[in-house]
């Protein structure tokens, strides 16, 4: 009997938007099934895994490889039930916005001169070609980082390398140490890399605010003849 993450993986494979991603070694060499089995094992042992199984592959379902214009890397999903839905930093909970997302959206509002959004759901960005992917696609309730060593990072590294190789012009927004380490995977002769500190309030350097990543990304995309991203979230 297969577990819920293995079933979610099979459903992802059947989606038309998955075709480009399925060429990655992660989906070709059994790695995807191995990671899904690890997550299913902890679910079978009684752990509550987040996001819900049907949302685990949301980032690569909403944004096909051949449509990627911007990449934003997160670490792992929010560990509070109901908050995460499979997109890095995106939030669908009912409480106030998580601190890092609040910082990101405040920078966006200030950078672009638009109102601070009331919504934390970043699905609109994903549908425009913004790949919002975490370095681990799953987490356990109340245990940040619980699945960081499950093997998900191979998917992220391969995704970045493939985007760099196959796409003509992409903006990589690398925020915080773990994301910035992946700059080495990007061909800077083709792509724009914008590095900054992590938007977390725990970042004592406070080197995220004022970096204007949203206007810089759009200006570069327009220069390359591509549609800019409409970063506004509220109607």
| pLDDT score of 203 | 87
- Cα(206)–Cα(213) distance, integer angstroms: 15
Active site residue 76: yes
Tell which phi-psi region holds residue 193, choosing left (phi > 0), alpha (psi between -120 and 50) or beta.
Answer: beta
| Catalytic residue from among 76, 83, 187, 207 | 76
| pLDDT score of 205 | 82
- Cα(91)–Cα(60) distance, integer angstroms: 17
DSSP character string of the chain: ---HHHHHHHHHHTSGGGTTGGGSHHHHSSHHHHHHHHHHHHHHTT--EES-GGGTTHHHHHS-GGG--EEEEESS--SSTTT--SSTT----SSSPPHHHHHHHHHHHHHHT-PPPS----HHHHHTTEEEEESSS-EETTBTTTTTTSSHHHHHHHHHHHHHHH-S--EEEEESHHHHGGGGGS-TTTSEEEEE--SSTT-TT--STT--HHHHHHHHHHHTT-PPP------
| pLDDT score of 201 | 86
Would you write out the chain's pLDDT as a tens digit for each of its 235 residues? 799 999 999 999 999 999 999 999 999 999 999 999 999 999 999 999 999 999 999 999 999 999 999 999 999 999 999 999 999 999 998 888 999 999 999 999 999 999 999 999 999 999 999 999 999 999 999 999 999 999 999 999 999 999 999 999 999 999 999 999 999 999 999 999 999 999 998 888 889 999 999 999 999 999 999 999 999 998 7
- Cα(235)–Cα(229) distance, integer angstroms: 15
- Cα(231)–Cα(180) distance, integer angstroms: 22
| pLDDT score of 213 | 98
- Cα(68)–Cα(145) distance, integer angstroms: 26
């Amino acid at each position: 009997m297969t577990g819920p993450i293995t079933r979610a993986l099979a459903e992802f494979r059947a989606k038309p938007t998955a075709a480009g991603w399925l060429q990655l070694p992660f989906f070709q060499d059994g790695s995807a099934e191995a990671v899904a089995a690890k997550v299913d094992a902890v679910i079978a042992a009684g752990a509550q895994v987040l996001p819900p199984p049907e949302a685990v592959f949301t980032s690569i379902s909403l944004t096909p490889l051949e449509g990627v214009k911007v990449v934003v890397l997160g670490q792992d999903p929010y560990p509070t039930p109901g908050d995460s839905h499979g997109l890095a930093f995106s939030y669908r909970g009912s409480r106030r916005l998580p601190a890092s997302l609040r910082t990101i959206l405040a920078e966006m509002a200030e950078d672009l001169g638009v109102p601070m959004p009331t919504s934390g759901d970043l699905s609109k960005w994903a549908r425009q070609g913004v790949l919002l992917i975490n370095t681990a696609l799953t987490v356990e309730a109340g245990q940040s980082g619980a699945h960081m060593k499950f093997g998900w990072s191979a998917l992220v590294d391969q995704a970045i390398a493939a985007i760099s190789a196959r796409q003509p012009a992409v903006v990589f927004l690398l925020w915080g140490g773990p994301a910035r380490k992946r700059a080495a995977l990007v061909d800077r002769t083709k792509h724009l890399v914008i590095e900054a500190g992590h938007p977390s309030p725990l970042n004592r350097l406070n080197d995220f605010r004022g970096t204007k990543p949203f206007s810089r990304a759009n200006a570069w995309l327009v220069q390359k003849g591509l549609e800019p991203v409409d970063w506004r979230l509220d109607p």
